[in-house]
Amino acid sequence: MLDKLALGTVQFGLDYGVKNYSGRVLLNEAYSILEFAKGIGIDTLDTASGYGKSESVLGEIGVSDYRIITKTVSIDKGINKVLEGFYNSLESLRVECLEGLLVHHFTDVKKKEFNLLFNNLTRLKQDGLIEKIGFSVYTPDQVDFLLSNFDFDLIQLPFNVFDNRLVLGGQLNALRNRSIEIHARSIFLQGILVDFENLPAYFSNWHGRFRLYKSFVQEYRMSLLEYALNFALNTQEIDKVLVGVNNQQQLREIVKAAKRMEGLKSFPINDEDLLNPSRWKT
């Protein structure tokens, strides 16, 4: 199962995560994390120019032997700025080409300049500067729109034990049938799914559901980490499961918890105010 793990690196550049109490990962710890990741066969890194210093930290460490996925800047300042941002990412990462480039802001897709931008991204792919073009999405209707309007190679989407909308709506199957590579993020919902203690007051609306979920997991005789991780890892349609860590020990715990399992059930909480971190008021 370890070959399905990919490493998210937003913590290398930002103080990220509602359960992150240690702040941004320091350079020596980032190096230690990547060294351990390489040793166990993790070959994919997820980053973005919008993740603070993440790309420059990766470039300083040296990541040319990883599959690197990064993301575009907003189209609001023009197509040239998006392309300039891509080349800046190559420079920061100190690599000559990337595995994937994701359109980071779904609102860009609906703008009149987007088709021209997409043509430019296709040329980058034809020139061998990127292997795959894709999108980062938040909701099932966004996936539906992309499937109806674009040919693309890669998608990054939210998926976790609380959020199985893309299974129920058939989007995961539709993506798989189109041979689109699927990367799942938010599998721990910024750490909430592995630690429900001391959450900000914003999450009080769901305390009852959280208690029920903890009892639900106990019936499987698994830890919260084991359940949340393996629910995503053992979903066949998903190609890569993104995990973000603040230190090497956390990655070791994730690796130890990874198992090949069948029959893990979702615990759906169909509430966008919980499932979409961009809506959190913390």
What is residue 20's predicted lDDT score, i.e. its pLDDT?
44
Helix axes 114-126 and 79-93, enclosed angle (nearest 10): 40
Is residue 74 within 8 Å of 50, Cβ to Cβ?
A: no
Determine the Cα–Cα distance for residues 196 and 14; give it in Å rounded to an integer: 22
What mean pLDDT is reported for the chain? 94
Check pLDDT > 60 for residue 247. Answer: yes
Domains held by the chain: number: 1
Q: What is the mean pLDDT of residues 256-276?
A: 93
Check pLDDT > 50 for residue 19. Answer: no
What is residue 281's predicted lDDT score, i.e. its pLDDT?
87
What is residue 2's predicted lDDT score, i.e. its pLDDT?
86
Q: What is the mean pLDDT of residues 243-255?
A: 95
- Residue 282: pLDDT band with limits 50, 70, 90: confident
Identify the domain containing residue 144 by its residue range: 2-279
User: The CATH number of the domain where 89 resides is what?
Assistant: 3.20.20.100
Tell me the CA distances in angstroms from 180 to 88, 174, 176, 203, one per residue in order: 27, 9, 6, 34
Is residue 251 within 8 Å of 38, Cβ to Cβ?
A: no
Determine the Cα–Cα distance for residues 182 and 259; give it in Å rounded to an integer: 20
- Residue 22: pLDDT band with limits 50, 70, 90: low
Is residue 91 within 8 Å of 56, Cβ to Cβ?
A: no
183 DSSP β-pair partners: 156, 240
> Which segments of the chain does DSSP mark as H helices, in order?
27-39, 54-61, 79-93, 114-126, 140-149, 165-168, 171-177, 207-218, 224-233, 248-257, 272-275
Check pLDDT > 80 for residue 13. Answer: yes
**What is the pTM for the complete model shown?**
0.94
Determine the Cα–Cα distance for residues 103 and 206; give it in Å rounded to an integer: 32
Check pLDDT > 80 for residue 279. Answer: yes
